[in-house]
């Protein structure tokens, strides 16, 4: 269970220069960022690298933290960007042969053909996500991870999500044809 | 130590380093700002040993407050901005009153210079105090702002002698307290 109020409090304290808040903030964010990155990139090692880069970036920019905004959302948005960058780099190097797997059990459950199909689907989805702006990406991230905050009214969030998904559909169609 | 613990430790170390690096850069920025202000003061007035001391104190204060971050950094920057009028005003007033350069203030500080220091310092002090009262961490903001405002002002008003130096310090503190009280009362109304 994520204690979002504690997260916000620690981040605000760290942004105010309180060094004692750094460790608890990091230990609260780290497992979440790693889990989230693993879902995005599949490879556990690469996911740890992405999470690490994201948190390094976040800690380096803590002075810009706006207490009115949600700390976790910011962390996950940075993680998403790092995952996209890492994925692009990996694709460029032609090292994208590993399967995006959740765990060993799921590996065993899928046969080679469906695994390939799944990998292609993930790649296609990430390519479509590449075209979205940070706001859309953040909205979709919040919806997927079910971490929407009370700060945004449900109706507003729904509208924002609708618009983000519409843009995602357009991006998908322009790359891969019909949905 | 397990691999995951090692990587967590490594990530924490890197994150801490990034945090401290950002703060060290802010401290360096503070020193650079102090350097700019000293250059400005050097161009405007004659520098006495006392002013050099104030300049050194300003550089240290901006570095420390910049490194500390948060309200201390915000306050330090606000203080520098607030300290600019007392830094510049004596030169302008002296030039207008005597048609001369304030390099001579040191030897012939005029009443106008002293009054200008006190009045401008009081006015910016009120602004600083008011702004501090609405900051999330008002006390730290106020202390940082008043410190840097007084030191910045001293770079200009210190050249007018003890009267000018006292004028800017008393003005900033008195104005700051007044602004704080006004801001606090407005917030509670």
Mean pLDDT of the A18-25 span = 93
User: Out of A17, A52, A58, whose CB is closest to B72?
Assistant: A17
In a domain, A122, yes or no: no
Contact assessment for residue B62 and residue B148, using Cβ atoms and an 8 Å cutoff? yes
Q: Which residues of B touch A16 (CB under 8 A)?
A: 69-71, 136-137
pLDDT score recorded for residue A99: 47
Q: Quote the minimal CA–CA distance from B140 to chain A in Å.
A: 10
Element (H, E) at B143: helix B138-157
Residues 6+ apart with CB under 8 A from B163: B109, B114, B117
Percent of chain B with pLDDT over 70: 85
User: In terms of Cα–Cα distance, which of B151, B68, B22, B99 is closest to A59?
Assistant: B22
B167 vs A23, residue with greater confidence: A23
Inter-chain touch B14–A56, beta carbons under 8 Å: yes
Confidence of residue A96 (pLDDT cuts 50, 70, 90): very low
A114 vs A32, residue with greater confidence: A32
A42: left (phi over 0), alpha (psi -120 to 50) or beta: left
Which of A8, A17, A29 should one mutate to test binding to chain B, selecting the residue with the greatest count of B CBs within 10 A? A17
A68 vs A104, residue with greater confidence: A68
User: Out of A55, A62, A63, whose CB is closest to B11?
Assistant: A55
Between CA B122 and CA B164 the distance in angstroms is 13
Percent of chain A with pLDDT over 90: 27
Between CA B126 and CA B147 the distance in angstroms is 14
Q: Quote the minimal CA–CA distance from A66 to chain B in Å.
A: 11
ipTM of this predicted structure: 0.72
Mean pLDDT of the A10-36 span = 93
Burial (0-12, 13-18, 19+ Cβ within 10 Å), A120: exposed
Q: Is the pLDDT of residue B102 over 60?
A: no
Q: Is the pLDDT of residue A109 over 60?
A: no
Q: Which residues of B touch A27 (CB under 8 A)?
A: 8, 12
Among the residue ranges A58-72, B85-99, B101-115, B163-177, the one predicted with the least confidence is B101-115
In a domain, A120, yes or no: no
Inter-chain touch A22–B11, beta carbons under 8 Å: no
Domain of residue B175 covers 3-188
Contact assessment for residue B116 and residue B93, using Cβ atoms and an 8 Å cutoff? yes
Mean pLDDT of the B161-181 span = 74
Token output for A72: 């976790």
Domain of residue A92 covers 1-98
Burial (0-12, 13-18, 19+ Cβ within 10 Å), B163: middle
Among the residue ranges A90-99, B159-168, B179-188, the one predicted with the least confidence is A90-99
Q: Which residues of A touch B68 (CB under 8 A)?
A: 17
Confidence of residue B72 (pLDDT cuts 50, 70, 90): very high
Which of B5, B15, B70 should one mutate to test binding to chain A, selecting the residue with the greatest count of A CBs within 10 A? B15
In a domain, A81, yes or no: yes
Nearest residue of chain B to residue A13 (CA atoms)? B70
pLDDT score recorded for residue B161: 66
Q: Quote the minimal CA–CA distance from A49 to chain B in Å.
A: 9
* C-alpha distances out from residue A141 to A36, A82, A132, A137, B59, Å: 10, 14, 12, 6, 44
Q: Which residues of A touch B72 (CB under 8 A)?
A: 17
B143 vs B166, residue with greater confidence: B143
B168 vs B52, residue with greater confidence: B52
Residues 6+ apart with CB under 8 A from A94: none
Inter-chain touch A55–B15, beta carbons under 8 Å: yes
Contact assessment for residue B117 and residue B89, using Cβ atoms and an 8 Å cutoff? yes
Q: What is the pLDDT of residues A127-178, one digit of tens each?
A: 777 777 777 877 887 777 666 666 678 888 888 888 888 888 888 877 777 6
User: Out of B8, B11, B18, whose CB is closest to A60?
Assistant: B18
Q: Which residues of A touch B137 (CB under 8 A)?
A: 16
**Per-chain mean pLDDT for chain A:** 80
Residue B46: DSSP 8-state = P
Q: Which residues of A touch B63 (CB under 8 A)?
A: none
User: Out of B12, B15, B22, whose CB is closest to A63?
Assistant: B22
Q: What is the CATH number of the domain that holds A42?
A: 1.10.1740.10
B78 vs A69, residue with greater confidence: B78
Q: What is the tally of structural domains in chain B? A: 1
Element (H, E) at B175: helix B162-188
- Longest C-alpha distance within chain B, in Å? 77
User: Out of B10, B22, B72, whose CB is closest to A60?
Assistant: B22
Confidence of residue B163 (pLDDT cuts 50, 70, 90): low
User: Out of A16, A52, A67, whose CB is closest to B71?
Assistant: A16
Percent of chain A with pLDDT over 70: 77
Q: What's the length of chain B? A: 189
Q: Quote the minimal CA–CA distance from A136 to chain B in Å.
A: 27
In a domain, A28, yes or no: yes
Highest mean pLDDT among A36-40, A80-84, B61-65, B92-96: B61-65
Q: What is the tally of structural domains in chain A? A: 1
């Amino acid at each position: 269970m994520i204690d979002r109020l504690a997260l916000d409090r620690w981040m605000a304290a760290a942004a105010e220069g309180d060094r004692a808040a750094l460790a608890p903030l990091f230990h609260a964010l780290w497992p979440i960022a790693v889990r989230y990155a693993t879902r995005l990139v599949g490879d556990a090692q690469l996911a740890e690298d992405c999470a690490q880069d994201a948190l390094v970036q976040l800690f380096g920019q803590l002075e810009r933290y706006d207490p009115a905004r949600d700390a976790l959302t910011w962390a996950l948005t940075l993680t998403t960007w790092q995952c996209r960058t890492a994925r692009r780099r990996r694709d460029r190097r032609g090292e994208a042969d590993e399967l995006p797997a959740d765990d060993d059990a799921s590996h065993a459950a899928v046969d080679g053909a469906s695994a390939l199909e799944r990998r292609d689907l993930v790649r296609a989805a990430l390519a479509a996500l590449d075209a979205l702006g940070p706001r859309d990406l953040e909205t979709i991230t919040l919806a997927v991870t079910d971490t929407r905050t009370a700060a945004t009214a449900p109706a507003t969030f729904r509208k924002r999500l609708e618009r983000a998904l519409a843009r995602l559909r357009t991006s998908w169609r322009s790359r891969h044809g019909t949905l | 130590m397990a691999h995951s613990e090692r990587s967590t430790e490594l990530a924490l170390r890197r994150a801490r380093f990034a945090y401290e690096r950002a703060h060290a850069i802010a401290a360096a920025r503070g020193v650079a700002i102090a350097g700019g202000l000293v250059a400005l003061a050097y161009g405007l007035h004659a520098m006495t040993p006392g002013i050099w001391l104030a300049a050194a104190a300003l550089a240290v204060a901006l570095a420390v407050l910049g490194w500390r971050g948060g309200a201390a950094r915000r306050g330090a920057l606000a203080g520098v901005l607030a300290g600019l009028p007392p830094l510049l005003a004596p030169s302008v007033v002296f030039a207008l009153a005597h048609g001369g350069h304030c390099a001579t203030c040191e030897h012939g500080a005029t009443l106008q210079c002293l009054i200008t220091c006190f009045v401008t310092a009081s006015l910016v002090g009120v602004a600083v105090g008011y702004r501090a009262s609405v900051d999330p961490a008002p006390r730290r903001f106020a202390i940082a702002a008043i410190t840097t405002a007084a030191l910045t002002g001293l770079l200009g008003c210190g050249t007018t002698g003890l009267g000018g130096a006292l004028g800017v310090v008393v003005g900033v503190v008195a104005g700051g307290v007044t602004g704080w009280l006004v801001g606090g009362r407005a917030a509670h109304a």
